[in-house]
Structure 1
Amino acid sequence: MNNDIKQEIDKIEIPLQLHLRSHMGIKQAKLEQVESRQSMKRWTHRKTIVALVVAFILITTAIFNTQVIAAIQKALQYFPGIGMVVEEEIPQDRYVLKEAVTTQIEDGIVVITGMLVDEKMTYLTISGIDTKRVQDIKIINEEGIVYTLESGGTSSTSGQWGGSFWQQGMLDIKGRIQVVIGYNPETVIPLTLTKAASFNSYQDLGETDSANGVSITAIANRVEGKARISLVSQHTDKFRISDFGIHGVHEEKKLYIADDKGKIYELEQYMGFSSPASEFYFDLSESDVKTYSLTIPEINVIYDDKAKISLDIPSAVEASSVVDKTFEIAGFPVKITKLERIDSNQLRLYVDLKYNEYSSKSLHNFKINSSHMAKLNEHTRVLEYLQFDIKPGSKVMKLTITDPEVVMRGPWKFELPTYKYFGKDD
């Protein structure tokens, strides 16, 4: 592996989750970015974009990535395009962008996907396709006062980019405003912010289904000729959802939309800046469809757990040793079956995760506290071995196992009547 790549990988730190601190100043956080697996003939090399440090104040007892944990049922507020739910006894006056706003710029588009304004901060999410990344944003309120938002960072891939901008403190931003994008010349986008609605339960937000200890709510509405679906969840804080099935661990078990005539719909997404992806669109049928159904066969979660192991390194280059050592992580047993010394500074660790595709949940992957490559089974996507650096002459290797990934199987099913969620705009 190229040394420069190794050094960059060593610097990457992915958090278990971003907590929104209540009544506390600024917390620095690193946003987990796009993580993709690229299949090769022999290797699947896990790539991760270096997480960007973002400092901001966010409101009351919530956790980013759509999860809310609370002992007592309270009022709920949901923020479209941002994918966040806040639960509190007395809901604040907050202003949100109800629908994404798309602006054509030359041969591409810029989409303001979400915006939130409250007494603690102003937060905006934005995406672009075939356009330059936005570097700075200004907001002009109804009185003509100009506010400048700070960049929370951007990420990009294959002609698309996504980012966030924010400003700490209470700003006088509501109603009809203008967003000014710092292109040359500047682009002015008019928006209307409306007061965030409060709800008594997740069922009031949208259709809700539970499986495997995870409750998922599908928030559905019509945006012109498209349906927009946003997913939020409730579950224990022992893990976080890393994929609602939109991208899918297994291609054949990805989330899908069908209508009552059996047609399967293609999903569209704007690139976001938070993980997991939780919002998508699809074109509504022009025929007389009475009901659309959303099915999530399985989701992927990452547990907040770790394990420490110690390995005796084979002394000779290209030597291997059979190992019969088992450790446990996230409640799953993992058996180390073999160690193979590839060369003087590379070790390969073979594992058996006891994967069962018919169980309600299965461990299929994990990370270690060292730069590494991973070989996944082409069919099951289960980890087979890790290869990582060792110091020449080392006899023992100590590893910390982190971020155990678990497939949780549903299904979660949602019936979405057209008259209730996708009636034509007035």
Structure 2
Amino acid sequence: MSNEIKREIEEIQIPLELHRRSKMGIQQALSEYKGNKRIVKKWANRRILAASVLVVIILSSAVFNTQVLATIQKALQYIPGIGTVVEDDAPQERYVLDQPISTEVDGGSLVVTGMVVDDEMTYITMNGTNVEKYQSVKLVNGKGEEYTIKSSQMVWGSNGKWTGSYWHEGKLDLKGQMKLIIAENPEIVIPLTLNKAKSFDRYQDMGGTAAVNGVTITAIANKMDGLARVALVSQQPKDLKIIDFGIDGVHEDKRLYVADVAGKVYPIQYDWGLSNPVREFYFDLSGSDGKTYNMTIPEINVTYDDKVKLSLDIPSHGVIDVEKSFEIAGFPATITKLERINDDQLRLYVNLNYNEQTSKSLHNFRIDSMSHMAKINEQTKELEYLEFDIKPNSKKVKITLTEPEVIIRGPWKFELPYDKYFSN
């Protein structure tokens, strides 16, 4: 795979089962546990950790980032199930798994969600429910040649579900009909077919495309086992990263939805994986021959690559008004008050100028490299204050605010005619 794609590989950022935001909206944490005596929970941060619920094992720090920008001069290839758009100067011979493959295993299930093979690497993603977590798999091509691919990353939760990736760097002779084998007792054999990836000149050639407020989203739709399968890919400025397409939305009443021309809304289904954000979902096509579906994304949640360093005078006790203004990612914000909770804790109140009527609204950020708690407004999901530890008797503190989260409002609208996308 190209050097460009290698640069886009990043650490895991979404746990398997706890990305959904709390309905309570208070005392949500923003920062990972750094060895402090107090364990915190993260709010609206992509590395959410929940003690006693989720264990994350990072076996290597490589998964695909799915925010690959392309120009019309590039050849584009979409990797189903993994959600990556690969751009090349010229079309490359790359083989992919077009549809997920599900296998029943001794009361549980195993799903090969995605696979891509090219001249530089082989990458596989799998989900399991009530089955063992496999540290390696074996691939056998049509000639009978065998290759062992080791696990590179794995995430699991207390509900018996796990998701993992398997990675090999270097060229392997894998295409067409083949088998994925797991050395269990009895052996698990999963037949697979890898097809040559289709190449496109433009995102619009992959599927319906809508551009709003500087973000272009393309919906790639097809049919799978009686379900509509829709994948979302995007183009946006390099300093901006989508962390939610509205599938799990910040605001429950502004999440992605699908309806037919009669106004019937279709429930969507989706699974967690290793990529951030969730970008693939399904809905039922039963009895829907000839219908046109309308998909709407009211808003998306993004984060900008920006940070602000601040030096603050700590009150000796109680609360002081501050009115310290700053700008992050082009959005104005103000620290309104500082409150010394006790000798070693400080609370920082903020006003993010959140406005539901604007095209974009800053609603959150975190403190870099520091454990802290946050209070989020239950209705607007706007950050109200941050709380963090300070050194006893300290009079000043320096902090860096980073990862500003911004709501970008649409809507992005797509028509999905049955005859065009789901008739096969």
TM-score by length of 1: 0.88
In the TM superposition, what is the alpha-carbon distance from 1:312 to its structure 2 partner?
Answer: 0.8
The answer to whether the Cα contact below 8 Å between 2:26 and 2:377 also exists between their aligned partners in 1 is: no
Q: Does 1:422 align with 2:422?
A: yes
Equivalent residue number for residue 181 of structure 1: 182
Distance (Å, rounded) in 1 between the aligned partners of 2:26 and 2:413: 37
Matched letter for residue 28 of structure 2: T
In the TM superposition, what is the alpha-carbon distance from 1:161 to its structure 2 partner?
Answer: 1.8
2:419 match: secondary structure: helix
Equivalent residue number for residue 126 of structure 1: 126
The answer to whether the Cα contact below 8 Å between 2:154 and 2:163 also exists between their aligned partners in 1 is: yes
Equivalent residue number for residue 53 of structure 2: none
Equivalent residue number for residue 22 of structure 1: 4
2:243 match: secondary structure: strand
Matched letter for residue 89 of structure 1: D
In the TM superposition, what is the alpha-carbon distance from 1:375 to its structure 2 partner?
Answer: 0.4
Per-residue Cα deviation, 1:308-359 (whole angstroms, up to 9, x for no partner): 011111113xx11111101110001111011111112111110000000110
Equivalent residue number for residue 205 of structure 2: 204
Distance (Å, rounded) in 2 between the aligned partners of 1:160 and 1:43: 28
Distance (Å, rounded) in 1 between the aligned partners of 2:57 and 2:276: 11
Equivalent residue number for residue 93 of structure 2: 93
1:22 match: secondary structure: helix
1:412 match: secondary structure: strand
Equivalent residue number for residue 58 of structure 2: 52
In the TM superposition, what is the alpha-carbon distance from 1:231 to its structure 2 partner?
Answer: 0.4
In the TM superposition, what is the alpha-carbon distance from 1:395 to its structure 2 partner?
Answer: 0.8
Distance (Å, rounded) in 2 between the aligned partners of 1:372 and 1:20: 39
Equivalent residue number for residue 354 of structure 1: 353
Per-residue Cα deviation, 1:247-274 (whole angstroms, up to 9, x for no partner): 0010000001112222211111122101
CA RMSD of aligned residues (A): 2.1
1:276 match: secondary structure: coil
Matched letter for residue 320 of structure 1: V
Q: Does 1:32 align with 2:13?
A: yes
Amino-acid identity (%): 53
Per-residue Cα deviation, 1:146-180 (whole angstroms, up to 9, x for no partner): 11112121112333221111100000111111111
Distance (Å, rounded) in 2 between the aligned partners of 1:20 and 1:320: 54
Equivalent residue number for residue 194 of structure 2: 193
Equivalent residue number for residue 161 of structure 2: 160
Equivalent residue number for residue 8 of structure 1: none
Per-residue Cα deviation, 1:186-225 (whole angstroms, up to 9, x for no partner): 3111000011111121111000011011000000000120
In the TM superposition, what is the alpha-carbon distance from 1:413 to its structure 2 partner?
Answer: 0.5
Distance (Å, rounded) in 1 between the aligned partners of 2:26 and 2:419: 50
Equivalent residue number for residue 272 of structure 2: 271
Query: Residues 39 and 104 from structure 1, CA distance in 2 versus in 1: closer, same or farther, beyond 3 angstroms?
Result: same
1:54 match: secondary structure: coil
* Structure 1 residues 249-268: aligned runs within 5 Å: 249-268=250-269
1:362 match: secondary structure: strand
Query: Residues 39 and 226 from structure 1, CA distance in 2 versus in 1: closer, same or farther, beyond 3 angstroms?
Result: closer
Stretches of structure 2 that go unaligned for 5 or more consecutive residues are 30-40, 43-47, 50-55
Distance (Å, rounded) in 2 between the aligned partners of 1:53 and 1:409: 37
Query: Residues 27 and 365 from structure 1, CA distance in 2 versus in 1: closer, same or farther, beyond 3 angstroms?
Result: closer
In the TM superposition, what is the alpha-carbon distance from 1:127 to its structure 2 partner?
Answer: 1.1
Matched letter for residue 249 of structure 1: V
Equivalent residue number for residue 13 of structure 1: none
In the TM superposition, what is the alpha-carbon distance from 1:67 to its structure 2 partner?
Answer: 2.7
In the TM superposition, what is the alpha-carbon distance from 1:130 to its structure 2 partner?
Answer: 3.2
Distance (Å, rounded) in 1 between the aligned partners of 2:281 and 2:118: 25
Larger relative contact order (Cα-Cα within 8 Å, sequence gap ≥ 6): 2
Equivalent residue number for residue 320 of structure 1: 319
1:323 match: secondary structure: strand
The answer to whether the Cα contact below 8 Å between 1:154 and 1:164 also exists between their aligned partners in 2 is: yes
Per-residue Cα deviation, 1:240-296 (whole angstroms, up to 9, x for no partner): 000000100100000011122222111111221010111111111314442111110
Matched letter for residue 170 of structure 2: G
Equivalent residue number for residue 102 of structure 2: 102
In the TM superposition, what is the alpha-carbon distance from 1:405 to its structure 2 partner?
Answer: 0.2
Question: Which range moves more in the overlay, 86-95 or 357-366?
Answer: 86-95
* Structure 1 residues 359-398: aligned runs within 5 Å: 359-369=358-368, 370-398=370-398
Question: Which range moves more in the overlay, 116-125 or 31-40?
Answer: 31-40
* Structure 1 residues 399-418: aligned runs within 5 Å: 399-418=399-418
TM-score by length of 2: 0.89
* Structure 1 residues 41-80: aligned runs within 5 Å: 42-45=26-29, 46-47=41-42, 48-49=48-49, 52=58, 54=60, 64-70=65-71, 73-80=73-80
Equivalent residue number for residue 146 of structure 2: 146
Distance (Å, rounded) in 2 between the aligned partners of 1:20 and 1:327: 40
Equivalent residue number for residue 38 of structure 2: none
In the TM superposition, what is the alpha-carbon distance from 1:51 to its structure 2 partner?
Answer: 7.9
Query: Residues 86 and 257 from structure 1, CA distance in 2 versus in 1: closer, same or farther, beyond 3 angstroms?
Result: same
The answer to whether the Cα contact below 8 Å between 1:327 and 1:334 also exists between their aligned partners in 2 is: yes
Distance (Å, rounded) in 2 between the aligned partners of 1:99 and 1:221: 10
Distance (Å, rounded) in 2 between the aligned partners of 1:69 and 1:197: 16
Query: Residues 94 and 27 from structure 1, CA distance in 2 versus in 1: closer, same or farther, beyond 3 angstroms?
Result: closer
Query: Residues 410 and 40 from structure 1, CA distance in 2 versus in 1: closer, same or farther, beyond 3 angstroms?
Result: closer
Per-residue Cα deviation, 1:373-414 (whole angstroms, up to 9, x for no partner): 110000000100011111111110100000000000000000
Distance (Å, rounded) in 2 between the aligned partners of 1:23 and 1:107: 38
Matched letter for residue 64 of structure 1: N
Distance (Å, rounded) in 1 between the aligned partners of 2:108 and 2:57: 26
Q: State the number of aligned residues.
A: 397
Matched letter for residue 333 of structure 1: P
In the TM superposition, what is the alpha-carbon distance from 1:420 to its structure 2 partner?
Answer: 0.6
Query: Residues 74 and 346 from structure 1, CA distance in 2 versus in 1: closer, same or farther, beyond 3 angstroms?
Result: same
Matched letter for residue 381 of structure 1: K
2:258 match: secondary structure: strand
Stretches of structure 1 that go unaligned for 5 or more consecutive residues are 1-18
Query: Residues 182 and 248 from structure 1, CA distance in 2 versus in 1: closer, same or farther, beyond 3 angstroms?
Result: farther
Distance (Å, rounded) in 1 between the aligned partners of 2:308 and 2:25: 30
The answer to whether the Cα contact below 8 Å between 1:31 and 1:51 also exists between their aligned partners in 2 is: no
